[in-house]
Amino acid sequence: MTVRSKLSALWAVATALTVVATPAASAQPAPPVVAPAPAWSTDAPGWSWQRTADGVVYDSPRGQFVVPSRTDGGRSINDEHLAHGGGRGALGYPIDTVRADVRDPFLGERTYQRFERGIVYAGPLTATTFNSSAIARFHQANGGGGGWLGYPWKGEIREGYQHWYQEFATGYVYSSPAGTYATHGSVQSLHNSLGGGGGPIGYPTGRDTVQGHDYRFQTFERAIIYCLPSAYPDVPQCSAVSGAIRDAHNANGGGTGSLGYPKQDQAYVGNGTWWQLFERGSIYVSATGVTITR
């Protein structure tokens, strides 16, 4: 056999042994992974809830309502509700959908949602009022979030035995054994500057009262705040009258009496003597007694 013949035979054998690979089937895209729907959690028969991308859905005999989250980073109604224990907590289950008050041009959108035992308000700040609270009842009696007090800016704060207060957009509401009253405007400004309810004059014991043409006063546990008309020249608009000077002033008819309203704050003038100027006279109090000059 010639060399050419041998090479031809070897080539034929190699060709017969060659495995021809078939092209692989084209790859198919994997089917999308579908997350299972969140499971419902049951608090009691007929009372259940489910987390969603928008917040938490609660289902109860009162209906099915969403407690919404926020996407802008602010504290949502859902955040506030969960902070109070969610559906099994202090507020209970929602009993209504989210409602919107008139949009405030300065504070933006304001919404609220009612729960079994309270209301969560969401505005620039998010806070709760509880139905069982005297402060919440006072707030609702004065128009709620759409009333003159506006939305709560903080939760209720306990400041002593049976002494509570809560800050709202335009004032404070204080509750004590003496009753539940609001401070606002110039009276509130002076009261806050003196330490608020925890300060020396204490909690309000009466409402802010108009007395005559633009004269106002409000009683507190240890003082009375009087406010002169804003047009009164060169004097503080509001002053507190307390202690022995208050007693002497009340004995002479208070703001409508012979001395009138205070024109300055009480001042220490030396030798153990305190003095305060009024519209029609002055009161001096010392260790030896009370002196009134007119």
Question: What pLDDT sits at residue 104?
Answer: 64
* 32 CB-near residues (< 8 Å, 6+ apart): none
Torsion region of 205: left, alpha or beta (phi above 0 gives left; psi -120 to 50 gives alpha): alpha
Question: What pLDDT sits at residue 214?
Answer: 84
Question: What pLDDT sits at residue 7?
Answer: 41
Over its C-alpha atoms, the chain yields an Rg (Å, rounded) of 37
pTM (global) more than 0.95? no
Residue 85 per-residue DSSP state: T
CB 204 within 8 A of CB 219: yes
Give the residue from 213, 268, 264 showing the smallest Cα distance to 236.
264
List beta partners, residue 59: 48, 64
d(CA 294, CA 292): 7
List beta partners, residue 285: 274, 290
Residue 104 per-residue DSSP state: B
* 265 CB-near residues (< 8 Å, 6+ apart): 236, 239, 240, 276
Domain chopping of the chain, boundaries: 41-177, 200-294
Number of C-beta neighbours around residue 70 at 10 A: 14
Interval 199-233: pLDDT, tens: 999 999 999 999 888 899 999 999 999 999 876 66
d(CA 194, CA 200): 7
What tokens does 67 get?
A: 């407690």
Question: What pLDDT sits at residue 101?
Answer: 81
- How confident is the prediction along the chain (294 residues), in pLDDT tens digits per residue? 554 454 455 445 455 444 444 455 556 777 776 656 678 999 999 999 999 989 999 999 999 999 999 877 778 999 999 999 999 999 999 999 999 886 666 666 789 999 999 999 998 889 999 999 999 999 999 999 989 999 999 999 999 899 999 999 999 999 999 999 999 999 999 999 999 999 999 999 999 999 888 899 999 999 999 999 876 666 678 999 999 999 999 999 999 999 999 999 999 999 999 999 999 999 999 999 999 999
Question: What pLDDT sits at residue 35?
Answer: 58
d(CA 278, CA 263): 5
List beta partners, residue 26: none
Number of C-beta neighbours around residue 110 at 10 A: 20
